[in-house]
Structure 1
């Protein structure tokens, strides 16, 4: 059975999610303390972690850092509605997605399913995946072992960043809309005021750096989306 860990100090919310997610076929474990939550996330095999930002003893960001030191388990962060900085920080630290509180449990399930589909696609045998190697300029992406190298040096990317780069490289030189990126990378539809894909693009830019000559690799096409440059002047 799919096992999910919920780390939140709101006991009533944990009980609600336990009941709802159990009805959707998930086994749910809950922890109400940040430090214990980090330990639990690394002590067992979970398909996903739901992590609140505001926690006793250790806040959600520190819990996420601790998890990311040893695990790539998908993480959905719960943030206060309207608190954009929490969402940005969480995504930059390696969260896969976020939900602002209060939220509809159906929306959480939809996000979980989307992440599961993405993970399942990434784990397909190489023969069932897209081309095993994508090369654009000095950058090479290897689908078989999900690694990326720039001039032969490995670049560490989160799961979402890897998927984002794969889509961009597959359409290098073409403009891809934000709507399409959200559907292909996050597995859901773009909603109003949702800036998660933009934060992932920003984090990816920082890790990839510029082409020689200070040319931007990922260009913003205002009002439309993004384009991965072919590196030509």
Structure 2
């Protein structure tokens, strides 16, 4: 496999250079963009394996860039910000970010997160060793009341219409669907779905559940796939 391509979107040149240097030392092919609009064009036009995205940028902020990226791409996106407010973190995760890192942070921690997210993405998309593209080895599909989950292809359709989910949204939905009628607390879901990669809190689960519901439970009068069990957690209902 060739070098993994990482796009850093950061308007502070000193921070961008530090991030680039640490990632290049660990074998990544890194591109830096400091302007929001230019970065978005780069992200959409080129094939990157992961994006490190600052929130505060000239021309276009990180949230808008993330929203545009998620319209067509589901590669890992790590948001970076000096703002510590929970609302920013919840907004970023809600728009489809895979992680949210608060400045200041250790460059070694950033490298560890990049490595963890790329390895997880490779496992879940079936990237074969020595190849740069996803390879579907076999087809397994779950069908629940009009909801079709293609496991290896990582695609979801509701009554025949494809539903776009981020990597973590898919992971969470698949885990619940594969373990129906069992109640899982937020902490249990963090452990099962995010594992050792997770650096946040249980609000992450709440945000992701909300986004999944928005996409697969649009009609409140129809079958509700994910139920809230108050005081206990969430359950997938078949």
Coarse TM-score class (shorter-chain normalised): 0.7 to 0.9
Structure 2 alignment gaps of length 5 or more: 127-134
Task: Give, in whole Å, the separation in 2 of the partners of 1:31 and 1:182.
Answer: 32
Quote the offset at 1:165 in angstroms: 0.8
- Secondary structure (helix, strand or coil) at the match of 1:69 reads coil
How many aligned positions are there?
Answer: 228
* 1:170 aligned partner: 178
Quote the offset at 1:192 in angstroms: 5.7
Give yes or no for the alignment of 1:31 onto 2:33: yes
* 2:80 aligned partner: 78
Task: Give, in whole Å, the separation in 2 of the partners of 1:29 and 1:165.
Answer: 33
Tell me if structure 2 keeps the 8 A contact 1:126–1:132.
Answer: no
Quote the offset at 1:17 in angstroms: 0.7
Aligned equivalent of 2:162, options 150, 154, 168: 154
* 2:132 aligned partner: none
Task: Give, in whole Å, the separation in 2 of the partners of 1:189 and 1:173.
Answer: 27
Bigger shift: 1-10 or 16-25?
16-25
Give me the TM-score of the superposition, normalised by structure 2: 0.83
Give me the TM-score of the superposition, normalised by structure 1: 0.85
Bigger shift: 180-189 or 115-124?
180-189
Structure 1 alignment gaps of length 5 or more: none
* 2:68 aligned partner: 66
Per-residue Cα deviation, 1:149-180 (whole angstroms, up to 9, x for no partner):
22333222222211211111011111234344
Q: 1:192 to 1:37 in 2, by over 3 A?
A: closer
Pairwise mapping of residues 45-64 of structure 1 onto structure 2 (< 5 A)? 45-64=47-66
Over aligned residue pairs, what C-alpha RMSD do you find?
2.5
Quote the offset at 1:138 in angstroms: 3.1
Quote the offset at 1:190 in angstroms: 4.4
